[in-house]
Amino acid sequence: MTAFKKYSLNLHGRLVQIDQPLVMAVLNATPDSFYSNSRAIDRDAVVARVSEMVGQGADIIDIGACSTRPGAQVVDSDEEMRRLEIAVKAAREVAGDDMILSVDTFRASVARRCVQDLGVDIINDISGGDLDPDMHQVVASLQVPYVVMHMRGNPATMQQFTQYDDDVAAVVLEALARKIDDLHQLGVNDVIADPGFGFSKTMEQNYRLLACLEAFHSLHVPLLVGVSRKSMIQQALNCSAQDALGGTTVVNTIAMMKGAHLIRVHDVKAAVEARTLVSLTMQQTNL
């Protein structure tokens, strides 16, 4: 097990301590996300889903309005923003001002509007800035925490780019290190690193990243792990996304024991319970 390294995030002047793994709950304001139970495409559905997630102990709600599953067709920015405006406003109304809201977008214009007009706290970018060259500069100007994820290509093509010239963990680590350095140079103070499980990686490569997760602490930023119900679990267990909760919980537990700071999940209750048991174990280890 890896000792948990504490960090803090500056959310519009409010300092939030990461002194245990945070549970980031997925809310998809889309009709086509790969796991149907995560979808909430109108205000009433958002209210019901957010109420459930808050009640189960979510620390962050991550709202996406443009599906990024493998082979997904990308909606335009106007439609993405229309969906986000409904979902973010409803989520804030239900969850309250203290709940951390994140928006999952790769578009700088959408990020700017969500922060400035809707009060979003974190931008979560699956492309790490590759799909919009303005993203890093915009995040720097907004001064909000930024999740930089590793991916090659785009959601429609990413699974064509799984050939790595070196060990996948080493390549991903180096790529993230370069981007984090660039972001710091621009003045982005709070960066969160995501190795990008399931994005431009084969099943075996995903488990290589998991096995080497401790190496990513050398980035000296919080680590986000998002494996919930993904194909790396479905393929390994020969199950559907609907039946992948058990496998998801195991992988999330491994990630937390390796020091992950944020766990992005569809199932809040299971993640919170896993965190409790990992924390109890870690306390005994540290005696």
| Known active-site residue 269 | no
The answer to whether position 72 is within a domain reads yes
Q: Which residue among the candidates 83, 179, 264, 275 is catalytic per the annotation?
A: 264
112 as an active site residue: the answer is no
Measure the CA dihedral 148/152/157/159, to 10°: -100
Share of the chain above pLDDT 90, in %: 83
The CA–CA distances, whole Å, from 57 to 22, 24, 98 equal: 10, 10, 13
In a domain, 254, yes or no: yes
Range of the domain at 22: 7-285
DSSP 8-state assignment for residue 121 = -
Amino acid at site 42? D
Residue at 2 is within a domain: no
Q: Is 235 among the domain residues?
A: yes
pLDDT at 35 over 70: no
Model pLDDT for residues 158-202, shown as the tens digit of each residue = 888 899 999 999 999 999 999 999 999 999 999 999 999 999 999
Helices of type H across 103-262: 108-118, 135-142, 168-186, 203-211, 231-237, 245-257
Q: CATH number for the domain including 161? A: 3.20.20.20
Name the domain count of the chain.
Answer: 1
Catalytic residue (choose from 230, 258, 269, 275): 230
H helices of 34-162, in order, are: 43-56, 77-95, 108-118, 135-142
Residue 1, in any domain of the structure: no
pLDDT in tens, 81-132: 999 999 999 999 999 999 999 999 999 999 999 999 999 999 999 999 999 9
Give me the pLDDT at residue 284, please. 87
At 224, the pLDDT band (50, 70, 90 cuts) reads very high
| Residues 96 and 62: beta-carbon distance below 8 Å | no
Tokens read off for 275: 């965190």
CA pair distance 240, 222, nearest whole angstrom: 30
